[in-house]
Chain A
């Protein structure tokens, strides 16, 4: 955001605090503005789930209810003051979010949407039935006045409580979204497999963000009870959950302004057009369909596009960090490296590794040993099981039998992000970059493991959080320098030419501080000149002590960089040795060319 715009936003945000002095009309201040603020708190949290994380919750009304009832019960029955009751409401929202997210987010698919709908309905049932706590269908009345000493938040004054809280919520969401958390979400959304292989746990992040979102819904609920000084079960219907989604989508996801505009529309529209009350759902449903397919990005997206006619965002110019280059590649020292050498000079080995899909045995009792610091090539004709082996080594597939041992320690059932964390990074045969992110952003995803400050550091933007971000950026730039992409740091990854996309994948893999880099056909689709570049790059990686497993079809490249070659055919190892021997091996030649090529060549 340019400085002028930032100042403008801050001034506008401050100016709105004085709304109750501009108009005393309780309809505008108490009924509309306060409600909008509370909705924004909830919807900005919903944006984390829908906009950033890419899941759909159709049960936020249930979480809202959990917060509202927790606060209402505590202030009326236990006579707690507002603040602890609100904190309890936040905790309750988060708890329900956790209970719901733990099962529902295990698989990707419509599971969260289905579970949240069901959850919303169950909350209504429980609220109606647990009469001794919730007063059933009557609802809880007599919510005490919200007065702290001389501060009175009754009537229009409630605005002075909810408006600052709304700003804080927006700030919190903004900080999460612009931190390494936001990058993790975006990466997971674009390619969850590439994100996992870059060391990000899909489950952990999706769950955390859902819990955070649920906590904000709990806070919104705790504030809501002070609007009408009443809370009853009919408020928290499935329709309300859908209304929140409409506010979010129509306003525009991933936009603070969009959250505010969307909530304003859903609060004000029914009042303005109260003659159409009978057609309200139809109108909102139509609005949602219209936004999804005609106005993606919603109101905020529309404004951004109009704005873009006058003001073109410039990609941040990244300064090359030439002197930082030597530090680009860090070879892990200590524990793992030590264990690697102790394990008899083998960094990674497979023991009778086997995987079968139905009746097809794709990899059959494969024994493979990669020594520290060597470039080991895995070659073989199409369909010989090379890519399947890569997927087994990186935790994407689970072996049917046999095991993989890294530095003396077997993987067990490690998932891809755990494999990445333990020191095996990879690239993909069909380039799997995060296309909408910048080149720099892609490498930063690989550097995810360097961020140790938790959510609190992100929310408070502590010096540590800032330092980690700054260090990671420098490191990312030097990695880009290493692969020769430093000049393109601000470019969107999808706009890179194909050959450079492959280099960017290598930079992202190197960012994970691996012990072993698995390059899955890094030269596929490249021109001869680009292949020569890959050749040098691999040599430089080796120079710095990295081990490389190279899967490749370009034999010139394989023969020139490899220390050892393993040849697969129909899922089995048919030869192993140094390049010169492999080139002369009869079985290899016949696997590639189909017959005794030697004889045929001799005829010629």
Chain B
């Protein structure tokens, strides 16, 4: 029983990270019908910037979170201006996919040059001593990840639903022309959605790094699994990515425990293929109707 609880807790912590990244995809997908194939790399850059802020500049964990959010904002603007905006003009899906892929490998190479190719330990702010509840041992960082991810996601959802700017983002996602007629600066809102999505990714890096290690290669796999999560949940659904993330986090933990640790990266792919076969619009996705 404690064994099971243990698995569930680690699965939830991991799932929250996937959900955060996928949440970022869903934001940009709804405003621009694109997703950022460098999102995992942005997570990695956030983690490494955070590491420098926390360790080298001695700004502490809060400083790391702040620095990574800042880097995320800059990356979001660069991404939108360099890769997305030109592709939206030519209306070519091939262009934006390839352009964000290109940014991803550039980011990864840059990180290798700046921080080296080795994986480094990221000091956990609440220590590495596991806490014990009812016989379940849990790392304080896991609790921090779950809490922080829940706060970020509900914060953003609240912002989208309650604030006038958030409503403007939702309006742009639904109908760009009608949004412009309301006096909403549509291109600015699209850029903003990328800033939001990229800083969420960068902050997730600082959250996850103490559980894994920080290094130039840490993002690719996380980013890829998060695509699967986004599609499984339904690309435009906030609730969907949360459920998808938890589903994947848990199934990975269970695979690692009951099948083999070597195959722990496979459930994401299996879930992805299954959902595409059964309900391609995702668990919580809605079918869209194209006007002719």
Direct interface between A and B, CB < 8 A: yes
Which residues of A are at the interface with B, using a C-beta cutoff of 8 A? 50, 54-56, 58, 100, 102-104, 106-107, 109-111, 113-115, 117-119, 121-122, 125-126, 128-129, 193, 238-239, 242, 245, 249, 278-282, 284-286, 288-289, 292-293, 357, 387, 391, 396-397, 428-430, 432
Q: Max chain B CB contacts within 10 Å: which of A278, A280, A292, A396?
A: A292
- Partner-binding segment picked from B12-20, B42-50, B269-277: B269-277
Q: What is the chain B residue whose CB lies nearest that of A100?
A: B273
Q: How far is the CA of A106 from the CA of B235 in the complex (A)?
A: 15
Q: How far is the CA of A546 from the CA of B61 in the complex (A)?
A: 76
Are A56 and B98 in contact (CB-based, < 8 A)? yes
In the assembled complex, which residues on chain B have CB atoms less than 8 Å from the CB atom of A193? 290, 292
Are A129 and B103 in contact (CB-based, < 8 A)? no
In the assembled complex, which residues on chain B have CB atoms less than 8 Å from the CB atom of A280? 109
Are B231 and A114 in contact (CB-based, < 8 A)? yes
Q: How far is the CA of A109 from the CA of B33 in the complex (A)?
A: 8
In the assembled complex, which residues on chain A have CB atoms less than 8 Å from the CB atom of B33? 109
Are B109 and A281 in contact (CB-based, < 8 A)? yes
- Given A103-B277, A278-B112, A293-B86, check contact A125 B266 (CB 8 Å): yes
A-B contact pairs, 23 of them (CB 8 A): A103-B280, A106-B276, A109-B235, A114-B227, A114-B231, A115-B276, A117-B224, A118-B268, A119-B269, A121-B265, A121-B269, A122-B269, A128-B262, A278-B113, A279-B109, A281-B108, A288-B98, A289-B102, A292-B87, A292-B102, A387-B292, A391-B292, A432-B292
Are A292 and B82 in contact (CB-based, < 8 A)? no
Are A113 and B262 in contact (CB-based, < 8 A)? no
Interface residues of B in 248-276 (CB under 8 A from A): 260, 262-263, 265-266, 268-269, 272-273, 276
Are A56 and B97 in contact (CB-based, < 8 A)? yes
Are A249 and B110 in contact (CB-based, < 8 A)? no
Which residues of B are at the interface with A, using a C-beta cutoff of 8 A? 33-35, 37, 82-83, 86-87, 93-95, 97-99, 101-106, 108-110, 112-113, 220-221, 224-225, 227-228, 231, 235, 260, 262-263, 265-266, 268-269, 272-273, 276-277, 280-281, 289-290, 292
Known: A110-B227, A281-B109. 7 other contacts (CB 8 A): A100-B273, A102-B277, A109-B93, A113-B97, A126-B266, A278-B113, A432-B292
- Given A107-B281, A125-B262, check contact A397 B289 (CB 8 Å): yes
Could you tell me the dominant secondary structure of chain A's interface residues?
A: helix
Could you tell me the dominant secondary structure of chain B's interface residues?
A: helix
Are A288 and B94 in contact (CB-based, < 8 A)? no
Q: How far is the CA of A54 from the CA of B92 in the complex (A)?
A: 9
In the assembled complex, which residues on chain B have CB atoms less than 8 Å from the CB atom of A288? 98-99, 101-102
Q: What is the chain B residue whose CB lies nearest that of A396?
A: B292
- Given A118-B268, A119-B269, check contact A129 B262 (CB 8 Å): yes
Q: How far is the CA of A429 from the CA of B292 in the complex (A)?
A: 8
Q: What is the chain B residue whose CB lies nearest that of A57?
A: B97
Q: Report B276 CB to chain A, min CB distance, Å.
A: 4
In the assembled complex, which residues on chain B have CB atoms less than 8 Å from the CB atom of A293? 86, 95, 99
Q: Report A533 CB to chain B, min CB distance, Å.
A: 25
Q: Report A242 CB to chain B, min CB distance, Å.
A: 6
Q: What is the chain B residue whose CB lies nearest that of A128?
A: B262
- Given A289-B83, A387-B292, check contact A56 B94 (CB 8 Å): yes
Are A106 and B110 in contact (CB-based, < 8 A)? no
Q: Report A5 CB to chain B, min CB distance, Å.
A: 28
